Copies of this chain bind each other. A is one copy, B any other.
Amino acid sequence: MSLRHALLALLTARPMTGYDLAKQFDVSVAYVWHAPHSQIYPELRKLEASGLVSAESTPRGSQATKRTYSITEEGRAELRRWVEEVAPPLPERDAAHLKATYYEFGSFANARRQFEGHLAYHQRQQLKWQIHVAQLEKHDTDLLRRRLAIEPEHTHDAIVAYKVHVYRGLVERARVEVEWAREGLALVDRLEAAETARRSAGD
């Protein structure tokens, strides 16, 4: 049930349309919780039905309407309740590590290809997060600036610090994945060398 709370949290910065929210899910929140627009629009309707957000409709052209959502006082209360709640950790589901457990079913070339993919992906992630940390530290994101503009100044440090801490954590996590992939490549080299030695000895 994290989607609804991610939406509520985003709406504390400013009222937004489903489209705006979907974009935010691509550039910031999505780094920790992904959601496509096909999930966002129905969820906003549900949030509206339960009174956690309110919607203002404005006409666009002759047939279409634009719906701008704002968080309600009940929505804020729900957000506080969620933050205070201790959630049991989600069950592990890590396709990359599962597959790596069984690389022996493929070739050395394949293991290398897989580790290289892992390496490249997490290097990109690391960079993305590093940039995000730098932006947060300079208050250089639209959403953060809007959020700070409406909150009392003495709370700004905490608001920024928690976010910076999260994204620094993700930078570190990506660094560990990159290291793991590099060590994986070294492992494949060792295994292949041993295999080659065995073959020439056996001949």
Contact = CB atoms under 8 A, between A and B. Distances in A.
Given A180-B172, A198-B154, A117 B34 contact: no
The A interface is mostly helix, strand or loop, or mixed, namely helix
Interface of A: 2, 5-6, 9, 29-34, 79-80, 82-84, 86-87, 89-107, 110-111, 113-114, 117, 121, 154-155, 157-159, 161-163, 165-166, 169-170, 172-173, 176-177, 179-180, 183-184, 187, 191, 194-195, 198
A94 B158 contact: no
B105 A83 contact: yes
A104 to B, nearest CB: 5
B161 A100 contact: no
29 contacts: A5-B99, A6-B98, A9-B101, A30-B92, A32-B97, A32-B98, A32-B101, A80-B105, A84-B106, A86-B113, A87-B99, A89-B96, A89-B121, A90-B93, A97-B166, A100-B165, A101-B166, A102-B162, A103-B158, A104-B162, A111-B162, A154-B195, A157-B191, A165-B183, A165-B184, A165-B187, A172-B179, A172-B180, A176-B176
A71 to B, nearest CB: 11
Copies of this chain present: 2
A110 to B, nearest CB: 5
A202 to B, nearest CB: 9
Top-5 shortest CB links A-B? A34-B91, A83-B106, A169-B180, A83-B105, A103-B162
A175 to B, nearest CB: 8
A98 B29 contact: yes
Given A2-B98, A154-B198, A172-B176, 5 more contacts: A83-B110, A97-B166, A100-B162, A101-B163, A165-B180
A83 B102 contact: yes
Contacts of A198: 154
Contacts of A6: 98
